Amino acid sequence: MRRSNQSKKAFTIVELLTVMGVIAILIGLLVPALNIVRRIAKDTKQRAQFHSIEVALEIFKNDTGEYPESSRFVDGSGNVTGAQRMTEALVGRDLQGYDPASRWHPQLDLSGTPTNAYSTNTGGTPSEQDKSLQRRKGPYLKLENVGAFGAQDLYLAGNFTPIYYNVTTQSPLMTDVYAERQVTLINGKIVKAGTPILYFKANTSYKDLGSDSGAAKRNAGFDSTQGYTTVAYNAYDNIDILNLKHIMKPTSTEIHPVSDATTSHKKFYDLITNPQISTNLDGVAYNTDSFILMSAGKDGLFGTADDIYNFGE
> Looking at residue 33, what is its pLDDT?
66
Task: Identify which of 266, 237, 265, 252 has the alpha carbon closest to the alpha carbon of residue 301.
Answer: 252
**Burial (0-12, 13-18, 19+ Cβ within 10 Å), 5:** exposed
Across the beta sheet with 198-201, what order do the strands follow? 198-201, 291-295, 308-309
Give the pTM: 0.83
Domain ranges, ordered by start, for the chain: 34-98+137-309
Give the number of other Cβ atoms within 10 Å of residue 156's Cβ: 12
At 159, the amino acid letter reads: N
What pLDDT score does 261 carry? 61
| Each residue's pLDDT expressed in tens, for the chain with a length of 313 residues | 455 555 455 557 777 778 788 888 877 777 676 667 677 788 899 999 999 999 999 999 999 999 999 988 888 788 999 999 999 999 999 899 999 988 888 877 776 555 677 876 555 566 778 888 888 998 999 877 788 898 888 887 667 888 888 777 789 999 999 988 888 777 778 888 999 999 999 988 877 776 543 334 444 444 444 444 677 888 889 989 998 888 887 667 778 888 866 555 778 888 898 888 877 666 788 999 999 999 999 999 999 999 999 997 6
The three-state secondary structure class of 142 is: coil
Q: What letter does residue 119 receive in the DSSP assignment?
A: -
User: For residue 165, which of 127, 196, 132 has the smallest C-alpha distance?
Assistant: 196
